[in-house]
Structure 1
Amino acid sequence: MRRVSRRGLRVGVSVAAALFLAACVTVRGRPAEGPLDAVQAYLQAWAGGDLATMERMVAEPPPHFAAQHQRFRDDLRIVTSRFELGRVEHEAESAVVTFRALHVLRGLGEWEMNGALHLVRREGRWWVRWTPAVLHPEAREGDRFSRTRTRLERAAILDGDGVPLTRQGEVITIGVEPRRIQNRAAVASALQAQLGVDPARLEKVLNAPSVSPEHFVPIIDVRLERYQQVRPALAPVPGIFFRRKSARLTPAGGFAAHTLGRVGDVTAELLTQLGPLYQPGDIVGLSGLELAYEPQLAGSPSGEVRLTRPSGEVRVLGRFEGTPGTPLHTTLRPEVQSAAEAAIEGVTQPAALVAVDTGTGAILAVASRPLEQPLNRALTGRYPPGSTFKVITAEALLTGGMRPDSPASCPAVATVGGKSFRNFEGEEFGNTRLRVAFAHSCNTAFVLLAAGLAPDALGAAARRFGFDVEYYPGLPSPGASFPAPRDETEKAAAAIGQGRVLATPLHMASVAAAAESGRWRAPYLLAELEDGPRASLAAGTRTPLLALMRAVVTEGSGKAAAGVAGLAGKTGTAEFGSGTPLPTHAWFIGFRNGIGFAVLVEGGGVGGRVAVPIAAKFAAAL
C-alpha cells in the first residue's frame, strides 16, 4: 500500500462534516485538538462578544486587538453576530477555515459576509493568525468601516375613498428657556389660559434634573392655525419661545386621534418590540393605527456598509435595498368622522361615538374623549349596555311570536327570584303594549316578558347580534359578551342589559346597524378585513324591530331627537359600580340613512337626557 506523507495531504471538509466535528467536542477535560474546534471556539467567543477569550486564541495578537474588534462593532452598530462554519483545508501545521457571518446591524438589518480564518499549529495547539481580513476579506491595516442609512417617507393612512388622512406638514413647538423666565407664575398662567397646560406639569418639566437653564424646553406642539391664535398672548411673556418642526398631520386637530394614532421618537420599549430595523432617533407610530401597522407604513430603510482606505478610497461592501411604506386603507369617512367629533365636542365627561355602515359593517367614524387620555373608549371600553340591549331582547320576543301591539304589563316593580326590578323614576304604564314598553324603556315589562322565553332564547338572540363572537376590526376591540344566566334573576337582569352583560360602543353600533339591515356584520376598520363573521336576525323580525326603534324617537325616551327625520334607536341608562343610588352610563344607539351608531357618556346619567341630544346632533349633521 502506498504511504502518503501527512505533510503533503490537503483535506476538504463540508459544512455538514464541520458541524458534526463541532458536535464531537468534548465537554469535560481537554477539547479535541482540531482546527475546526479552534475555529468554533473562536467564533463562539466572537458571537458572545468575549474579546478577551478571542485574543487569547490569537497567535501574536496585534496591538489594540480588542479595540479594533470593538470599533468594527461600534462603527457598524452591530447588535448580534452569528456564524456558520464552512470548509477546512489544512496541512500538518497550518489550516484555513471558511465561515459565513451574519451581522445584524441596528437600523438596517442582517448583513451577510463570507470570511476565512487562517490558523497555525504550535506546540500541539491551533492558533488564529489574525489580520483585519478576519473582519472582512477586503479589510487592511488602517481601514475604517462605516455605514449609511436612509428612511423613505412614511406612507399615508387613507380614508374610505382612498384619500390621505395623514400628511407631512409643520407644527409649532411652544416651549420655554428657563434662564429667560422672569416670572414662572406668569408663564404658567399664560400657557394654562391659552393652551390648557397644567401648571403642575410645567413645574415638573422645569424642575427635571436633565433640564439645562440655557436650552429650549419643549412644552406642547400645536398646529399652525392654533399657533396664530395664541401667539399674540404668549409672545410677550418673557421665557416663552416657539420653534417650527416637521410633523405628521391629520385633517384637523384631534381628528380620529385615538384611532389614527400619533407618531414620535421611538421609545426604548418599542425598540425591543420592533426589532433591529429600528434605531434610536427613528420616528415611529406610538399609538393607534400608526403603531399597529408601523412596519407597513414605514417600509424598510436603505443603506450601505462601506470600507474607507487611509487614502480616502471608499469601497461598498454591502447594500440594503429599502422598501417604501405601503398606504393603509381604512373605511373612515371624513364627513362622518367630523360629525362625530362635533357631536361630542364640549362633553365634559368621558365619552365615545362610533358609526358603521349598516349594509357592510365598515366603520365610518370613531371618536373618543378626552383626547389626552390614551384609552380609545369607542373600541376598547366594555360597559353594561343597559336598556340598549332591549333591542336584542325585543328580537327574541318577536322571534317567539310577539308583535309590537302584543300585550305587555309595565308595573312599577317586578320581582324575579327575590330581586326587585324598577323603572326609571318609578314610571309605570300598567297593562299596555310591547311598542309602548319598548318606546318608554320599561324595565319591568321586559323582565316579565323575558321570563317566558325558552331557556336559551335570549342567548341565541344575543349571538345573532354578534355577542360572544370574536372579530378583529383592525385595532384591538373585545366585542361583546353574554354569559349564560345562572338563574332566573340573572336572566331578568340580562334582559335589560345589566348583570354580567358587557359590550363596547363599537359593538352596540353594530347592533343598531343589524336592526336596520336585518343582518349583523362584524365591524371592520380596514378594507382588507371586510369578510368577517356575520349572522342573520330571525326571519320576520326586522320590520317590527324597525317600528319599535322608531317609536323610541317619535314618542318615547328618545323624543328629544324627534326633529331628526328618519332617526330610530334605543336609549340606555346602565347601572354600574356601587353607591345609593348607583351611578349610570348614558347610552343611545340608533341608525339613520344607512349609518348605525352608538353614543356613550361614562357616568353621564340618563340616556334620554344626555346621550340623545348628542345623537340628534350627530344624526342631523349626516
Structure 2
Amino acid sequence: MRGVFWRGWRVVSVAAALMLASCVSVRGRPAPVETGPLDVAQDYLRAWGEGDFASMRRAVVEPPADLEAQHQRFRDELRIIASRFELGRVEREEDSALVTFRALHVLRGLGEWEVDSTLRFVRREGRWWVRWSPAVLHPEAREGDRFSRTRTRPARASLLDGRGHPLTREGEVITIGVEPRRIQSRAAVASALQARLGVDPSRLDKTLNAPGVSPEHFVPIIDVRPALYQQVRPALAPVPGIFFRRKSAWLTPEEGFAAHTLGRVGEVTAELLEQLGPTYQRGDTVGLSGLELAHEQRLAGLPSGEVRLTRPSGEVRVLGRFAGAPGTPVRTTLLPEVQLAAEAALDGVTQPAALVAVDSRTGAILALVSRPLEQPLNRALTGRYPPGSTFKVVTSEALLARGMGVDAAVSCPATVSVGGKAFRNFEGEAFGNTRLRQVFAHSCNTAFVTLATGLGTGALEDAAHRFGFDVAYNVGLPSPGASFPVPRDDAERAAAAIGQGRVLATPLHMASVAAAAESGRWHSPYLLTELSGGPSASLAPGTRAPLQALMRAVVSEGSGRAAVGVMGLAGKTGTAEFGTGAPLPTHAWFIGFRQGIAFAVLVEGGGVGGRVAVPIAARFAAAL
C-alpha cells in the first residue's frame, strides 16, 4: 500500500483508495467520511516535501516548540535539496496507528540517501494526529542529536593521448592580480601587464570596474605557469598594486595546447550546476569546455561521503554511506608531436584559422588547432565553410571514375557560361587546350564546371557521398561534417563542382577528404579511440593512383608550388568565395597528405589559398 510524493505530486494506491471509500446509509445518502491515518500521513509527507512547515505543525498533536527548527536543521545540516516519500504499510488499532514510509532525500553534492522510517498516530476527538519525535527524521534520532555529513571527491582522471599517456595533470600556477587600494597608477599597472603578458588594458579596467570588487581584496587578472612567472616577476613586482598568489590548476603539456579541444577546468558555474545534477555542489572543480566538459562525469567520478548522527555525549553514528567511484581516463587520438607541429605552423597568423591532421588509414584525429585562442569557437570542428577548389578532389574522382585519365584533353578558357551563370578563373587565367593534370594543378574553374556538365545524373552526388558528404558520424565532440545539397539546376551543379554554391564542410572533414585520396578509402574522423570503426566508404575502383598524381602535380608545378621543397607532399589549394562585395572576400584553403598523415589548413577570410594556406601547410608538413 503506497503513495508516492515529489514536491507536492502524489499517486495514491488502489488499496489506499479502498480504505478511504465511504459507507452508504440505509437512506441511500453518503455517511460522513472520517479522515484516516493514511490521509494524514500523505498530507504530512507532501508538506514535508514542499517545505510547508505550517501545514506540518497543524497535523501534529502537542508539537514541540522547535518542530520547524528541527526539520530546517535536518535539511540544512545535510544540504537536502529535495525529498521524495513512498508510503508503506499501515498498522491500526482503535486509537493509535503506525504508518511506515521510505524517504529518499537528495543531498547536494552526494546524491540520493534512502531512509526507512515511521509516523506514529493517535486518535483524539474523532481525528488522527501525528505523534511527532525526532525519529520521524531518522529512526535512530533522539532529542538533542545533530546531523552532519562528510564528502570527498576523487582525484580527477586525465585525458590521454593516442599512446595512452596523460595530456592533462594537476599542477601549480601563479595568479597575477592587483589590490585596488595599493594601486598608485592604474596606467602603470595596465602598461606593465600588457608589455609582459599581453593583457589588454580594457580587460584590466573591466575587471576593476565590475560590481562587487572590493578595494581591499586581491583581484585576479591572469594565471601563468611557474616558468613564465619567473621571467615576468622582476618587472611586475616593483609596480605598486600588483601581487601574486600560487594555486593548483589542471594543466596541459604547454600553454594553449589543444585548448579548444581539451577544454578548460575551473569552478562550476550556476548554469552547469543545474545541468550536472545533485552529485555536484558550489566550489567543485569541473570541466568548463571541450572534452573536459563533454566527459565531465566520467573524468570526475563520484564523491564519497557519510551521513552522521552525533549524540549530545559526543558519540557519532554513521547513518549512511556513499561509496563514490574514481574518475576514468578518456583516451583521445591526439599525438603531441603532431599537435605541437600544427600549433607552431599557425604561429604568427593573425586571422581566424584552423589546422587539422588525421591518420589517412584510420581517420584518427592527430591534431586539432583553432585560432585565435581567446575565441571559444572551435573552427577546426564546428566551422562550416565553402571548400572552394579543394572540392575539385571530389569532382576529379567522379571524372576518373567515368574513365577520364590524368592526361585527358580538356579546355581551360578564361570564362564560360553554364545555365546562364558566368564562371571565371582566378585573376583571369586561361590555359587553352591542355590536359586534366594541368587544369587540376592550376585550379582552372572553367574546365571543371564544363566537365561537370558532362557527368551523368547523380555522378557528382555519388562521389561526394564516397568522400563522406552528408554522412553522419560521431567525432567525440560536436562537429557537423559536410553537406552536398542536390543541385537545383545546371548553374548550381557547376558551382558545386568547384566547391561553391551550397556546398559546406568543416576543416576536419576536408582533412578526411585528403586522407581518402591517399588511402583510397574515406574513414569518418574520430577523436576518441573508443569511436573507431565509424562509417567509411571506398573510392571508385582505379581512381586512387591518378588522384594522387593530380594532387602531387599541384605542389610540383601548380598553385601549391610554395611547398615544393617538402618531399612527398601532395594536395589541393582552395580560394573559396563567401559573403558580399566586389570582389567577394575569400577563405584560403589547402588540403594535403604526406606519409600517412592528411591535413587541412583554413585561414578565414585569408585570401588566396596558394599564397596564404600553402606556406602554413609547408611548415606543418616539414615539421613532421
Q: TM-score, normalised by structure 1?
A: 0.96
Correspondence 1:137-536 to 2 at 5 A: 137-536=139-538
Q: Write the distance in 2 (CA, Å) between the matches of 1:413 and 1:49.
A: 77
Whole-angstrom distance in 1 between the partners of 2:281 and 2:409? 69
Q: Residues 575 and 111 from structure 1, CA distance in 2 versus in 1: closer, same or farther, beyond 3 angstroms?
A: same
Given residue 192 of structure 1, which amino acid in structure 2 is its aligned partner? Q
Shift of the 312–504 alpha-carbon distance from structure 1 to 2, 3 Å rule, reads same
Q: In structure 1, what residue type is equivalent to 2:273?
A: L
User: Aligned residue pairs: how many?
Assistant: 610
Q: Give, in angstroms, the shift of residue 197 of structure 1.
A: 1.4
CA change 1:335–1:31 in 2 (3 A) is farther
1:102 aligned residue? 104
Question: Deviation at 1:14?
Answer: 7.6
Q: Deviation per CA, 1:302-326: give whole Å up to 9, x if none.
A: 0000011111111110000010000
Task: Structure 1 unaligned segments of length 5 or more: list them.
Answer: 1-12
Corresponding position of 1:5: none
Task: Write the distance in 2 (CA, Å) between the matches of 1:30 and 1:144.
Answer: 43
Structure 1: which amino acid aligns with 2:356?
Answer: V
Is contact 1:120-1:129 (8 Å) kept?
yes
Q: Give me the whole-angstrom Cα distance separating, in 2, the residues matched to 1:557 and 1:171.
A: 46
Residue identity in the other structure for 2:112: E
Deviations 1:205-253 (A, max 9, x none): 1112211111100011111111122112111110001111000111000
Question: Residue type of the partner of 1:273?
Answer: Q
> For structure 2, which runs of at least 5 residues remain unmatched after alignment?
5-10, 23-30
The answer to whether the 8 Å contact 1:18/1:87 transfers is no
1:571-599 Cα distance to aligned partner (Å, 9 max, x none): 00000111111100000000001001000
Aligned residues of 1:166 and 1:251 also touching (Cα < 8 A)? yes
User: What secondary structure does 1:218 align onto?
Assistant: strand
Per-residue deviation, 1:23: 4.6
RMSD over aligned CA atoms reads 1.6
8 A contact 2:445–2:498 mirrored in 1: yes
Q: Which amino acid in 2 is paired with 1:83?
A: F
Query: Aligned-pair distance for 1:26?
Result: 8.6
Moved more, 31-40 or 394-403: 31-40
CA-to-aligned-CA distance 1:594-617 (integer Å, 9 cap, x gap): 001000000000000000000000
Counterpart position of 2:540: 538
Asked if the contact 1:588/1:607 (under 8 Å) is kept, the reply is yes
Q: CA shift at 1:426, angstroms?
A: 0.5
User: Contact conserved, 1:21 with 1:36, CA < 8 A, in 2?
Assistant: no
What CA deviation, in whole Å up to 9, does each residue of 1:37-72 have, x standing for no partner? Answer: 111111111111111111111111101211111111
Match of 2:48 in 1: 46
Secondary structure of the structure 1 residue equivalent to 2:40: helix
Corresponding residue number in structure 2 for 1:4: none
Q: Cα deviations across residues 257-305 of structure 1 (Å, max 9, x unaligned)?
A: 0000010000011011100010000000000000000011000000000
Check the 8 A contact 1:15/1:87 in 2, yes or no.
no
Partner residue in 2 for 1:557 = 559
Whether the 8 Å CA contact 1:512–1:589 is kept in 2: the answer is: yes
Corresponding residue number in structure 1 for 2:13? 19
Decide whether the 8 Å contact of 2:190 with 2:201 is kept in 1: yes
The 8 Å contact of residues 21 and 37 in structure 1, kept in 2 or not, is answered as no
Task: Give, in angstroms, the shift of residue 91 of structure 1.
Answer: 0.4
Rounded Cα–Cα distance in structure 1 between residues aligned with 2:2 and 2:263 = 53
Distance 1:458 1:156, change over 3 A: same
Specify the SS of the correspondent of 1:459.
Answer: helix
For the residue of structure 1 that corresponds to 2:13, the secondary structure is helix
Shift of 1:170: 0.3
Distance 1:23-1:353 versus aligned 2 partners, 3 A rule:
farther
Give, in angstroms, the shift of residue 126 of structure 1: 1.0
SS in 2 for 1:290: helix
On the 8 A contact 2:590/2:600 being kept in 1, the answer is yes
Deviation at 1:20, TM superposition (A): 2.1
The corresponding residue for 1:118 is: 120
d(CA) in 2 for partners of 1:580 and 1:64? 79
Partner of 1:612: 614
Tell me the TM-score normalised to structure 2 length.
Answer: 0.96
**What do the CA deviations read for 1:172-229 (whole angstroms, capped 9, x no partner)?**
1000000100000100111111112121121111112211111100011111111122
Q: Distance in 2 between matches of 1:23 and 1:529?
A: 52
Equivalent residue of 1:389, what SS? helix
Q: For 2:457, give the aligned amino acid.
A: P
* Identity between Structure 1 and Structure 2 (%): 78
